[in-house]
């Protein structure tokens, strides 16, 4: 594989650690994984509008402050989330603190093995059904998601 020098430098530069306020709650932690409760309004990853105060960067700040992560000492691995939640969604996000844990957790998510995802919402008004089953279809170009039936192509 060939990388131009500027791209190589970009990919190998140490991760920046920002002095961020920690706004998440730790739900579980061991030497390999960190499970946090993400608050509403916080992005998991950077986007075009926010590149510093994200859940991922807050987690790096947290681990750095505990002495468990030092970007100057790492060989290219940065702890990261296994999945994400939208900005306006609160809930549990799992982080792999080691390369092996992140790989294993990603595989478990991909195969839906040992990790169940459940979403709970609050509705206002009268519900005619006790159970709602729906499928999400995302329109990335318009940054929208909508509910579709199970036979909709691409859900």
Q: What is the CATH number for 45?
A: 3.30.2350.10
**122 found inside a domain:** no
**93 found inside a domain:** yes
The pLDDT value given to residue 64: 94
Query: In the chain, where does DSSP find H-type helix?
Result: 5-12, 55-65, 99-111
**151 found inside a domain:** no
- List the structure tokens of 95: 């982080």
How far is 132 from 143, CA to CA, in rounded Å?
24
CA-closest candidate to residue 107, choices 118, 120, 94, 119: 94
Catalytic residue among 30, 86, 116, 141: 86
**54 found inside a domain:** yes
How far is 120 from 103, CA to CA, in rounded Å?
27
86 is a catalytic site residue = yes
**30 found inside a domain:** yes
Q: What is the pLDDT of residues 29-75, one digit of tens each?
A: 999 999 999 999 999 998 888 889 999 999 999 999 999 998 887 66
**131 found inside a domain:** no
**23 found inside a domain:** yes
C-beta of residue 117 within 8 angstroms of C-beta of residue 72: no
The structure's pTM equals 0.76
Domain count, the chain: 1
**142 found inside a domain:** no
């Amino acid at each position: 594989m060939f990388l131009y020098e500027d791209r190589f430098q970009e990919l190998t530069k140490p991760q920046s650690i920002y002095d961020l306020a920690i706004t998440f709650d730790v739900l579980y932690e061991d030497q390999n994984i960190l499970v946090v409760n993400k608050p509403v309004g916080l992005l998991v990853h950077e986007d075009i509008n926010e590149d510093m105060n994200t859940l991922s960067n807050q987690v790096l700040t947290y681990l750095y402050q505990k002495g468990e992560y030092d970007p100057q000492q790492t060989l290219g691995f940065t702890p990261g989330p296994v999945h994400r939640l939208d900005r306006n969604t609160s809930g549990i996000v799992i982080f792999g603190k080691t390369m092996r844990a992140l790989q294993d957790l990603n595989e478990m998510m991909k195969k839906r093995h040992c990790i169940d995802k459940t979403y709970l919402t609050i509705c206002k008004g009268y519900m005619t059904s006790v159970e709602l089953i729906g499928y999400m279809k995302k329109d990335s170009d318009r940054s929208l998601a909508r509910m579709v039936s199970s036979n909709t192509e691409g859900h």
